[in-house]
Structure 1
Amino acid sequence: MQVSAVKCGRIQVDGEMVPVSYIVKSSQKISHFLHRHEPPVMAWDVPILDKEDDVVTVWKPATVPVHPCGQYRKNTVVGVLQAEYGLAPLFPIHRLDRLVSGLLILARNATKADLFRQEIEAGKVQKLYVAKVVGEFPEDEQIVDVNVNYNAREGRSTAEVGNSCDGSSIKGKTACTKFTRISTNGIHSIVSCKPITGRTHQVRNLF
């Protein structure tokens, strides 16, 4: 396989094609080029809601990851903004799961990104999700405090609840969320979801 890659130029030395018999010299750079198809996303447009000198706010569509990760490189919010609007560099202030849509704030320089990071750590910036759920959600505020166990290999999470009777250990990381009903028609409910912690898939796993 490596022989054919050298012959067709996918393996190069210092940016140049070389024969299979070529002996690599000290400090030379070997590059191996691969063609990879990214998984498709259901939306390509990333609407810009507000653009300032050091901050840009966009509407992130569902199915599009925030930044390059896993199999995604170009089909990301950062990738789209760079390709379609020439916005670079960009520093995501926070992230939304790939399947989640919503407001996304990105800094346009490292100094502003660091300032946002400090404000988030100090609790001055908070996230609030709004979800539509099946059924009539309880009228009183609900606080759910469990562990979320994220499986990076499978890309999914499960909520883990401890059992003090059998002494079993709880997997995952602690996750606390406050849920408040905004409205309901008896069939569906609109619910405010305020995460106290920030865990991957936290909100969707607690319903």
Structure 2
Amino acid sequence: MLSGSRRRAARILVGCSSFLSCEMSLKRKDPEGESGTAGDRRKKSRGDDGESRYVPPPTRRRAGVSFGDDHFGETESYTENGLRKVRPYYFDFETYCKGRWVGKSLLHVFSKEFRSEPLEYYQRAALAGRLRLNESTVRDLSVVLKDNDFLRNTVHRHEPPVTAEPLRILAESGDIVVVDKPSSLPVHPCGRFRHNTVIFILGKEHNMKELHTIHRLDRLTSGVLMFAKTSEVSKKMAELVRERKVEKEYVCRVSGKFPEETLTCEEPILVVSYKIGVCRVHPKGKPSKTVFQRLGYNGKSSVVKCFPYTGRTHQIRVHLQYLGHPIVNDPIYNTEAWGPNRGKKGEVNMTNEELLRTLIEEHKAKQSLDILDVGEDDLQALNSGQPCSQSTSEAPMANPDGETPTQDEGDSLSADCGKEEVVKDDSSAETEGKGRGLVDPLCGECKIIRPDPSPKDLIMYLHALRYKGEDFDYSTELPEWAKDDWKED
């Protein structure tokens, strides 16, 4: 029981609190006042001339991957020649003005930082009304950018084909979804891929939406892939992986006669290029450990089980290359670009930049740059002596050419797959109703006729066979190329 004086003091404090709350609320309602919130201040941007522009506040993403029916309805897929294809569609890339762009013209920014398209393309796109600044059409690229300006670019988007092999559901509960991922299919939207991804196929064809990635597989790697339905489960599973309480088992087919005895490789792995996704054994790399066991040998190649104890990018592939038994059809680590011994024992007598150039030139000669996800901006960067891994080309305002780095061994964790995307997605109201799949007059890709890849060229002989934890055990059957009766081409 409070005394009279204490009750009066309490009433005074409550009254003061109410007054302060009311005053603060009134101040927040004034977007021009100094007491406004950061969100209010963000909506107005003033340049040196005092002119103000309305800038839409950033959209807060929900936890998980927030793709809905409006995104899934952007286009449609179809099967042809053993491939899953997506009809070209219109798409908006968005970005806020970066600090280094402030005070520079759009013409300057496009010419220096968005080199995947020639400058003439952006000039024509502006005249066609496809470039918008703070939601207003921009036709003059000489306009100078200001802090917090919001840019939107509508493009005609083409996606590379992937194998038509179906995405199988291995298990589903109230917390987890486990699938058998086909080779060539990215996990989430990244680079040039959006509808041809596991996330979009699960959402559009299986009505499984707002999933959280627990681990990732490289685009060319097939096998067990787990998703969480809630952020809580995602965090729990992530902790298990970090504490190495998840046993991972892979199977692959490698060149030559692999030793019969169990081998352990603990060579450190260094990332040469995040942009392209190339690694090598190097003393300055991160500690890595993989155990290998041979299952069989057919006189030409060996089937090997792999047990990665760490989760470095391309760990299994790099360690097999180091041991002199690269994966038979590995398009990166089993090529002549690494030298006469193809990187065995880490013998790569060239710098990282020389290695990247050699790899790109080899795939360029084979017309297989899509395997590396390399675009013209990367080629220009290399030709100018700029490291490809540090290219200043920005994907969000043009059709991106790269893929975010992914990992074979699945230790790359993300509670929100949306954060892994190269771009923020949205659909443009101005482009609704335009014919999907029709030739676009501004689109350079529409003018190119590309031959279809063979479905077998989209498969790499590396498969995530089993993931096992304290209270779960998910596995798939052996792929055809890992069976005893498989015949090599």
Range with bigger deviation, 143-152 or 184-193: 184-193
Distance, in Å, in 2 between the alignment partners of 1:18 and 1:70 is 26
Q: 1:113 aligns with which of 226, 234, 241?
A: 234
Considering Cα pairs closer than 8 Å and 6+ residues apart, tell me whether 1 or 2 has the greater RCO.
Answer: 2
* Structure 1 residue 126 displacement after superposition: 2.4
Residue type of the alignment partner of 1:179: F
Equivalences for residues 78-89 of structure 1 within 5 A: 78-89=199-210
| Map of 2:129 onto structure 1 | 9
- The Cα shift of 1:110 comes to 1.1
Change (3 A) 1:3 1:138: closer
CA displacement 1:163-205 (0-9 Å, x = unmatched) = xxxxxxx243222111112233444322111111111111112
Unmatched segments (≥5 aa) in structure 2:
1-119, 141-147, 321-489
Taking the TM superposition and a 5 Å limit, the aligned residue runs for 1:3-152 are 4-12=124-132, 30-43=151-164, 45-150=166-271, 151-152=273-274
Gaps of 5+ in 1: 21-26, 161-169
Against the structure 1 CA distance between its residues 28 and 172, is the aligned structure 2 distance closer, same or farther, given a 3 Å change threshold? closer
| Correspondence 1:154 to 2:267 | no
Asked if 2 retains the 8 angstrom alpha-carbon contact of 1:182 and 1:189, the reply is: yes
* Greater share of residues in strand: 1
Partner amino acid, structure 2, of 1:106: F
TM-score by length of 2: 0.36
- Deviation per residue, 1:2-48 (Å, 9 max, x gap): 6654553323467676887xxxxxx9855322223223323463221
1:184 aligned residue: 297
Structure 1 pair 138–3 and aligned structure 2 pair: CA distance change class (3 A):
closer
- Please say which structure displays the higher CA radius of gyration: 2
Give the structure with the higher percent helix.
2
**Stretches of 4+ aligned residues off by more than 6 angstroms:** none
Q: How many residues align?
A: 198
What is the DSSP-based 3-state SS (H/G/I as helix, E as strand, rest coil) of the residue aligned with 1:175? Answer: coil
**1:171–1:74 CA distance, 2 compared to 1 (3 A):** farther
Q: Provide the C-alpha distance between the structure 2 equivalents of 1:204 and 1:59, rounded to a whole number of angstroms.
A: 20
CA distance, structure 2, for counterparts of residue 76 and residue 121 of structure 1:
26
Q: Is the 8 A contact 1:60 1:103 kept in 2?
A: yes
1:165 maps to what in 2? none
For normalisation by structure 1, the TM-score amounts to 0.79
Q: How far apart in 1 are the matches of 2:157 and 2:275?
A: 20
